[in-house]
């Protein structure tokens, strides 16, 4: 047994586990729904570590279940801390794994076509100024992350607007892009509960990054998602980290929008003052000491802001032959 907290009741037969992950957020939320009649569902699966496997086993055990009882898994998005054990669930139980249609290709490229995908990813970061030393470290870092993911082999698509049955209620499938292109949410209007994954978080701003394989304007996507969440105004949201449940989603969505608008103003002013690469801009936006993965997130986040401004016609970018990087300028 681990010293994991007992499952938190969320709504009817739906329970939340706080599963340990070796990231600063410390835990990720895994949901288990075990209705008296109907399929046993797991929502998100945590990272593939011995600690996470043990915590999920304990959580299932507390609900009188084993891996083999899981009939289906629904994954909010392809990031390793949510998708890591998807393949294990599939193998141990024969469960069908479901993701939003938009996200399936992202997961596939990221976890199955790893070797094909990595060079493009590194080139994208290099073209935006990430120094050589950090690039090499980043490749190694990415490989470590890859080792903690056991990908699913057959993923079934869910579509926006479709309904799934959980806790004896119908939940509408939402598309909440920004943090991930095909980020899924599940919404039950009658109880005003949203299963939000990382689309909104209470204590940290969900990373919104532009990578080689993402949609062209993740920040634009995310600002629309925040508008959607504000209009939905759920009474409670089950969140991926620092949860399992948060209230005040509408106020938090407004706060996050203000935060991104402040960052947009900052980037516009900085690039206007002196043309610079996205990496140089990221050093100005995140001046504190960060490790390699922190700097990569900072670069991708800065780039999402700079590209959003460029697509709005408020900034321009030019290839600089001398330094071989894109520079952003007014």
Q: Which is nearer to Zn ion, 206 or 220 (CB)?
A: 206
Measured from the CB atom, the residue of 58 and 181 that comes closer to Zn ion is: 181
Q: For tokens 């209009």, what's the residue?
A: 231
Q: In terms of CB distance, is 184 or 285 closer to Zn ion?
A: 184
Report, in Å, the least distance between residue 258 CB and Zn ion.
Answer: 22
Rule CB under 5 A: say whether 240 interacts with Zn ion. yes
Q: Which stretch binds Zn ion (CB under 5 A): 192-200, 260-268, 298-306, 318-326?
A: 192-200
Q: Distance between alpha carbon 265 and the CA centroid of its chain, in Å?
A: 25
Sites for Zn ion among residues 91-120 (CB under 5 A): none
- Give me the least distance between CB of 240 and Zn ion, in Å please: 4
> Considering CB under 5 A, how many residues would be counted as binding Zn ion?
4
Angle at 94 between CA 93 and CA 99, to 5 degrees: 105
**Minimum gap (Å) between residue 17 Cβ and Zn ion:** 14
Nearer to Zn ion, 181 or 198 (CB): 198
Cα–Cα dist 274/281, whole Å: 10
CB of 110 to Zn ion, least distance (A): 12
Q: Which is nearer to Zn ion, 33 or 198 (CB)?
A: 198
Question: How crowded is residue 52: how many other Cβ atoms within 10 Å of its Cβ?
Answer: 26
Identify whether the C-beta of residue 259 lies closer than 8 Å to the C-beta of residue 317. Answer: no
Residue number, 198 or 307, with CB nearest to Zn ion: 198
79 in contact with Zn ion (CB under 5 A): yes
Indicate which single residue of 33, 58, 101, 198 sits in contact with Zn ion (rule: CB under 5 A): 198
Q: Which two tokens stand for residue 216?
A: 């062209």
User: Tokens 């390699």 identify what position?
Assistant: 292
Q: Can you name the residues that pair with 166 across neighbouring β-strands? A: 169
Sign for the pseudo-dihedral over CA of 258, 259, 262, 267:
negative
**Of 81, 90, 217, 301, which one interacts with Zn ion (CB under 5 A)?**
81
Strands (DSSP E) contained in the chain are 8-11, 14-20, 27-33, 41-43, 72-74, 96-100, 155-158, 163-166, 169-175, 184-188, 193-197, 236-239, 245-246, 316-320, 325-329
3-class DSSP state for residue 295?
helix
**Binding of residue 181 to Zn ion (CB under 5 A):** no
For the CB of residue 312, give the shortest distance to Zn ion in the complex, in Å. Answer: 26
d(CA 326, CA 252): 34
Cβ proximity to Zn ion, 200 vs 306, nearer residue: 200
79 or 305: CB nearest Zn ion: 79
- Considering the rule CB under 5 A, would residue 260 count as an interface residue with Zn ion? no
Stretch that binds Zn ion, among 54-62, 93-101, 147-155, 190-198 (CB under 5 A): 190-198
Gap between the Cα atoms of 172 and 88, Å rounded? 27
Please identify, among the stretches 53-61, 106-114, 193-201, 227-235, the one whose residues bind Zn ion according to the rule CB under 5 A. Answer: 193-201
What's the chain's length in residues?
A: 330
Q: Which stretch binds Zn ion (CB under 5 A): 156-164, 233-241, 245-253, 299-307?
A: 233-241
Rounded CA gap, 88 and 74, in Å?
13
Residues that bind Zn ion in the complex, under the rule CB under 5 A: 79, 81, 198, 240
């Amino acid at each position: 047994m681990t010293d994991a907290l007992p499952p938190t009741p969320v709504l009817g037969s739906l329970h939340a586990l706080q599963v340990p992950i070796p990231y600063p957020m410390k835990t990720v939320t895994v949901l288990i729904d075990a209705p008296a009649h109907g399929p046993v569902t797991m929502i998100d699966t945590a990272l593939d570590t011995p600690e996470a496997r043990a915590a999920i086993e304990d959580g299932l055990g507390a609900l009188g279940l084993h891996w083999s009882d899981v009939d289906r898994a629904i994954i909010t998005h392809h990031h390793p801390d949510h998708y890591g054990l998807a393949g294990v669930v599939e193998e141990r139980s024969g469960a069908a794994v479901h993701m939003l249609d938009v996200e399936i290709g992202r997961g596939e490229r990221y976890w199955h076509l790893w070797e094909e995908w990595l060079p493009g990813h590194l080139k994208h970061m290099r073209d935006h100024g990430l120094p050589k030393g950090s690039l090499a470290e980043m490749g190694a870092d990415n490989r470590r992350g890859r080792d903690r993911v056991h990908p699913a082999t057959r993923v079934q698509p869910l579509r926006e607007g479709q309904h799934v049955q959980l806790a004896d209620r119908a939940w509408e499938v939402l598309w909440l892009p920004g943090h991930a292109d095909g980020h899924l949410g599940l919404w039950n209007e009658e109880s005003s509960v949203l299963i939000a994954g990382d689309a909104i978080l209470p204590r940290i701003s969900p990373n919104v990054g532009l990578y080689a394989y993402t949609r062209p304007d993740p920040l634009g996507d995310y600002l629309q998602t925040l508008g959607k969440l504000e209009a939905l105004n759920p009474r409670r949201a089950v969140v991926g980290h620092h949860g399992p449940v948060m209230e005040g989603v509408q106020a938090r969505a407004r706060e996050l929008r203000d935060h991104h608008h402040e960052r947009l103003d900052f980037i516009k002013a900085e690039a206007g003052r002196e043309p610079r690469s996205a990496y140089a801009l990221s050093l100005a936006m995140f001046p504190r000491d960060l490790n390699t993965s922190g700097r990569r997130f900072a670069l991708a986040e800065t780039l999402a802001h700079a590209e959003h401004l460029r697509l709005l016609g408020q900034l321009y970018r030019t290839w600089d032959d001398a330094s071989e990087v894109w520079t952003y300028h007014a």
